[in-house]
Amino acid sequence: MAKKTIEDLDLNGKKAVIRVDFNVPLQDGKVTDKTRILGALPTIKHVVAQGGIAILLSHLGRPKGQVNSKFSLAPVAQALAAELGQPVAFIPESRGAVAEKAVSELSPGSVALLENVRFHEGEESNDPILAQDFAKLGDVYINDAFGTAHRAHASTAGIAEFLKPAVAGFLIQKELEYLGEKTENAESPFVVILGGAKVSDKITVIDRLLEKADTILIGGAMAYTFALANGKTVGDSLSEPNFIDTAKAAMKKAEEKGVKFLLPVDNVTVDSLDFDNMSVGTIGASDPEGNIPEGWEGVDIGPKTAALYAEELAGAKTILMNGPMGIFEIEACSKGSFAIAEAVAKNRDAVSIIGGGDSVKAVNQAGFGGDVSFISTGGGASLEFLEGKALPGVEALDDK
Ligand code: AMP
């Protein structure tokens, strides 16, 4: 790791301003998914164990620079206290006299969560005045908000200019290790599964992974743009005819690099997206060319494809999954994504990485969340990092 980390700090008696990603789903004032809270625990516990004071900053939702009680972090403080097994002081402001006085009264080993940083207009515009105000809250800065690390905001990047040392927490370290080092120097065979809606969203990732992977398995609606590039018909499937040349170039590069590049050989298709009244068919078994007729839409990889992909995954030593194989949110279109999740989970010899966003939901929904090596907590941040882009929230930290 090229950046300083929490392990490079002496935290005893220090006030540590920790940017976490507590942008959690809430329902009736209760946190319904604690994944992000759990992700931040190692860093918070380490600060407490070292005799430091953990002062947590986070955003929640999109209050657009306005105070809005709907987006208050107060319920998150309670959920965090339950997970930590110690009280968490909730401070209803994140800057200025009230916040500074409240944090000055905290004793070593205590934890406080401040109110939503996005209640201030300057957060998303990375206002240096706001960044300086955040910096006044502590003696050291720790960024552990991987999910927001692709944004240069006052609490994720700006603050690191004014509050030194500025280091990475354990979660960011782990994300960079799995999404970075472990895919950079992947043990072979390195099998990548890419799905989701659009080729245009994923082309930079595809291009980069073509440099590293041994095999790339394509699913999701993205597959239909590749099918068009191969001269097949896709019926009413979601596709991007403007990206046919891009798809062709990717396949050509795969050939040149000797990367095995597999597309679905069969598809689950529906005659309408009115999911209460549709018929579900499997095309491919009946059409050996894999063409989808007019009036039908591909919504998932078919069973033959799932079996073929599972075979590739069984022999892998490194697996990276990004994007679902179909409209997994709908049960009738979820079998392909769930079968692939199972195949990933079954390969215990491989380092298996679920690269964020909807593939995480699919793997968790399929019940295999606990059986993979690493699940990224980022969506956009994971994708941008896999694309090879620098993350401003990491760049801003001190070099080792
Ligand atoms: P992405 O954010 O690009 O990873 O795309 C995820 C979304 O793609 C999910 O909401 C899926 O429902 C959707 N998706 C996957 N396959 C298809 C498909 N064949 N047709 C339409 N949407 C799809």
In the chain (400 residues long), the average pLDDT of successive 10-residue segments reads: 94 98 93 91 98 98 96 97 98 97 98 98 98 98 97 98 98 96 95 94 94 97 96 95 97 98 94 82 74 92 96 98 95 95 97 90 92 93 93 97
Instruction: Evaluate whether 76 touches 36 at the Cβ level (below 8 Å).
Output: no
Whole-angstrom distance, CA of residue 342 vs CA of residue 365: 11
Nearest CA to ligand 1 atom 10: 327
Dig out the tokens for 315 from the structure: 């022999």
Q: What is the pLDDT of residue 285?
A: 58
DSSP 268: E
Dig out the tokens for 305 from the structure: 């494809």
Q: What is the pLDDT of residue 283?
A: 77
Centroid of ligand 1 to alpha carbon of 240 (angstroms): 13
Q: Is 194 in the pocket of ligand 1 (CB under 6 A)?
A: no
Ligand 1 atom nearest to CA at 220: 16
Residue 256 class from Cβ within 10 Å (0-12 exposed, 13-18 middle, 19+ buried)? exposed
Q: What is the pLDDT of residue 258?
A: 98
Mark whether 393 is an active-site residue. Answer: no
DSSP 348: T
Q: What is the pLDDT of residue 277?
A: 80
Q: What is the pLDDT of residue 51?
A: 98
Q: What's the full length of the chain, in residues?
A: 400
Q: What is the pLDDT of residue 357?
A: 82
Q: Is 122 in the pocket of ligand 1 (CB under 6 A)?
A: no
Q: Is 220 in the pocket of ligand 1 (CB under 6 A)?
A: yes
Name the residue among 27, 53, 48, 26 with its Cα closest to residue 37. Answer: 26
Dig out the tokens for 227 from the structure: 């099918």
Dig out the tokens for 74 from the structure: 């107060």
Catalytic residue among 61, 369, 379, 380: 380
Q: Is 197 in the pocket of ligand 1 (CB under 6 A)?
A: yes
Say if 6-170 and 178-386 have the same CATH topology. Answer: yes
**β-bridge pairing 297-301 and 267-270:** antiparallel
Catalytic residue among 14, 136, 164, 198: 198
Catalytic residue among 3, 4, 19, 36: 36
Q: Is 264 in the pocket of ligand 1 (CB under 6 A)?
A: no
Mark whether 357 is an active-site residue. Answer: yes
CATH number of 6-170: 3.40.50.1260
Residue partners of 390: CB distance under 8 A and separation at least 6: none
Q: Is 238 in the pocket of ligand 1 (CB under 6 A)?
A: yes
Mark whether 380 is an active-site residue. Answer: yes
Q: Where along the chain do its domains lie?
A: 6-170, 178-386
Catalytic residue among 235, 357, 378, 393: 357
Residue partners of 185: CB distance under 8 A and separation at least 6: none
DSSP 397: S
Mark whether 198 is an active-site residue. Answer: yes
Q: Which CATH class is domain 178-386?
A: alpha beta
For 58-75, the pLDDT digits (tens) are: 999 999 999 999 999 999
Sheet holding 190-194, edge to edge: 260-262, 215-218, 190-194, 318-322, 351-354, 374-375
Q: Tell whether pTM > 0.85.
A: yes
Task: For tokens 């050291």, name the residue.
Answer: 140
Spell out a b/e string for 362-385, using b for 16 or more CB atoms within 10 Å of the CB, else e. Answer: bbbbbebbebbebbbbbbebbbbb
Q: Is 336 in the pocket of ligand 1 (CB under 6 A)?
A: no
